[in-house]
Amino acid sequence: MSRKFLTLAGAAALVAGGVAAGALVSGAEAQQAAKAPIILIVDQSALVSQSDAGKTIPGQVQSIQTGVQKEFDAEAAKLKKDIENFEKGSSLMSEEVRQKTGQELAMRQQVQLPQQAQIMEQVLGNVVQVAQAKVLQESQPIMKSIIDKRGATLLLDRSAVMYAAPDSDITQEVLAELNKKMKTVEVQKVTLAEVKKKAAEAAAKQAASQKDGKSKK
């Protein structure tokens, strides 16, 4: 067999090998492309603020705030009256009673009322979050259905994305279906009695913590 023939045969083998390798690379790229993730975007804050159900939350919260504020005003008026009566009648009290009553009134004015107002804000914030969570929970099956329909592999919240193609945002699609399923959401009622209870629990917990801290010293 001539050397020329061997050279040509070797060259042919290299070409064939290169073609085969190219085919493997192309196949791998195609497979990778086929598995490329399909990412969708949803604006969860918009689902809450723009949905029919979500729009019922602020009005309910305002109504709750108004009701509790009336209770707070009545409580403040009662405290003011008690202070006035104390100032008028303190001269007729014994030193022990006067001191004890004065301390109780000061505690109500400087600690209890401000603490109740602070806890009221926290409680309202919690019930709002619970109501918003109900709206988002109702939207979960809708988002799952859209993900399956589009063959998506990943769903991100709009707040986590700097830019996305408009057709990847499914917020309006979710809203349309959500409004068909959910027209309102209930915000849990809050009363001053509940706030006082939580304030008392917080005070008891703080007192126990301070007592425990002193016992360890």
Cα–Cα dist 37/151, whole Å: 9
Burial of 79 (0-12, 13-18, 19+ CB in 10 A): middle
Which two tokens mark 40?
């969708």
In sequence order, the 6+-apart residues with CB closer than 8 A to the CB of 48 are 54, 57, 132, 135, 136
What proportion of the chain, given as a percentage, has pLDDT over 70?
80
CATH architecture of the domain covering 37-73+119-198: 2-Layer Sandwich (3.30)
Confidence of residue 4 (pLDDT cuts 50, 70, 90): very low
For residues 117-140, give the mean pLDDT.
Answer: 94
Spans of all domains in the chain: 37-73+119-198
Q: Which of 54-58, 149-153, 201-205 has the lowest mean pLDDT?
A: 201-205
For residue 33, the model assigns a pLDDT of 52
Average pLDDT of the chain, as a whole number: 84
Phi, psi (degrees; rounded to nearest 5) at 55: -70, -15
Dist. CA 150–CA 165, nearest whole Å = 15
DSSP 8-state class, residue 112: I
The residue with tokens 């016992």 is 215
The pLDDT value given to residue 111: 87
Tokens of 82: 């008690």
